[in-house]
Structure 1
């Protein structure tokens, strides 16, 4: 039998409720409504099945790192870069994606940050939805979803959770806290730290740690988000005509880059 249904929370949901500092102009409740509440409607499902260029770059970059370490010889051989490019079938990607991936893979070959590390787990990036972690907060229970890119072991046995980034966005410490909370349930006997590494900028964040009180605050915040999200879903299902009231739009320049702009009546696609 499958796991019993529970409300859910994740870093992705958190970021859709409140964007990272500096990205407020991209925030739109209606986008969350389409992605999280109306995702089974045919038009929305079709859009969600299409990777945006940033999503495609991130997915292939993660897969590239995985393939470099799936065969230790690939980082040692002169044709290792070509092998990984062939595995990823980069020749079938758009020019923009192919160009960025070639740069990312070349930079990783020059500075393979996981080489010599004791890799505990390394995701391909295409495994799908991770197993939920059941979290209880008081009398409320919810599922936490946390797709972790990589965990390696520090010399003292500490779990180092590493999240790979692409693009130019700043690191969001909230994501690290969510992963550290997940680790406290998955590996309760192990100390854990977290960090980010941008594969395009070759930039590594400072290591991030969390105290028990900080993790409890994150747990409470995620519970609050799970509750609010479920309430909003129920409100929409009772009154679908209230979609724009429950999930208010934020039209503006950012509509040009929103994947839902072709079905959103509030989209300002004509802004130049």
Structure 2
């Protein structure tokens, strides 16, 4: 199996390498191994291709926002929610997904966050991997992937990157930082901010900003993550039998929520003892 010549980084990879604050006990490097080193194996590929209800809800909710603004007249029509639901083929999904997505559509129809915004980019959420940004410095070179849900211009001319969320998982500021680094290359010279918006809870995050010194430090950290991950991939492809050494497992009750539990030799599927894992928005592979 070939390995890409140039290292890459993304928020998704960062989240697989290092846990978000407060999620340390649930973090497992073996998950990174399945997602990034063994993704082409038939069993792993099948699991990665199977969308969970949280994933379907997240994708359909974002696509619903896209359809509302692609067909802006629907925001003013009384049957706008029904029309978008038809465009999403919502009736073909299971009951839980239908109910939650319809509630999200209704909330957005009642209070459309992006109404009258100067939108530069709004994605449907199912477009796959974005075009990589080549970051080439004296000390490092890597490809950066950053799939932005929405980019618009604020009234003060600031570039605003907005990421949509669903479910109950906390916002991870690292994702916004990656987007701000990407904006440095995609929109050079523009002042940029980033924020999150939970479409299900109608909850906004605070604006996230980063200065030039912090951007440089972030870029260096992502370069290190990209290079270390590339070395891990090379080690694995040289000796596939060392999978569990290169990507060590962290078994526990959280294994019950892992998509790879059925094929993992280290999965702990015992009933949890008083602890539960927060509901996350699927594998989050784009960002």
| Fold similarity call, TM over 0.5 | yes
Q: In the alignment, which residue of structure 2 is the partner of 1:153? A: 153
Q: In the alignment, which residue of structure 1 is the partner of 2:222? A: 222
Q: In the alignment, which residue of structure 2 is the partner of 1:53? A: 53
Q: In the alignment, which residue of structure 1 is the partner of 2:285? A: none
Q: In the alignment, which residue of structure 2 is the partner of 1:203? A: 203
Report the secondary structure of 2:6's partner residue.
Answer: coil
Q: In the alignment, which residue of structure 2 is the partner of 1:261? A: 261
Report the secondary structure of 2:136's partner residue.
Answer: strand
CA shift for structure 1 position 188: 0.4
Q: Is contact 1:137–1:223 with CA below 8 Å preserved after alignment? A: no
Taking structure 2 as the reference length, the TM-score comes to: 0.91
Report the secondary structure of 2:105's partner residue.
Answer: helix
More displaced 10-residue stretch of structure 1: 262-271 or 201-210: 262-271
Q: Is contact 2:253–2:270 with CA below 8 Å preserved after alignment? A: no
Q: How many residues align?
A: 269
CA shift for structure 1 position 26: 2.6
- Could you tell me how far apart the structure 2 residues matched to 1:105 and 1:267 are? 37
CA shift for structure 1 position 5: 4.5
- Could you tell me how far apart the structure 2 residues matched to 1:253 and 1:93 are? 29
- Could you tell me how far apart the structure 1 residues matched to 2:181 and 2:234 are? 28
Q: Say which structure, 1 or 2, has more relative contact order (CA 8 Å, 6+ apart).
A: 2
More displaced 10-residue stretch of structure 1: 234-243 or 141-150: 234-243
Q: CA RMSD in A?
A: 1.2
Unaligned runs of 5+ in 2: 273-287
Deviation track 1:9-64 (CA, whole Å, cap 9, x = no partner) reads: 00000011112112223311001100011001111111111112221111111101
Deviation track 1:209-264 (CA, whole Å, cap 9, x = no partner) reads: 11001111110110000011011111111111111111111111111111111111
Q: Is contact 1:52–1:259 with CA below 8 Å preserved after alignment? A: no
Deviation track 1:161-218 (CA, whole Å, cap 9, x = no partner) reads: 0000111111111111110000000110211111000111111011111100111111
Q: Is contact 1:137–1:220 with CA below 8 Å preserved after alignment? A: no
Q: In the alignment, which residue of structure 2 is the partner of 1:87? A: 87
Q: In the alignment, which residue of structure 1 is the partner of 2:275? A: none
Moved over 4 A (4+): none
Q: In the alignment, which residue of structure 1 is the partner of 2:169? A: 169
- Could you tell me how far apart the structure 2 residues matched to 1:111 and 1:238 are? 54
- Could you tell me how far apart the structure 2 residues matched to 1:114 and 1:156 are? 16
Q: In the alignment, which residue of structure 1 is the partner of 2:34? A: 34
Q: In the alignment, which residue of structure 1 is the partner of 2:24? A: 24
Unaligned runs of 5+ in 1: none
- Could you tell me how far apart the structure 2 residues matched to 1:21 and 1:132 are? 27
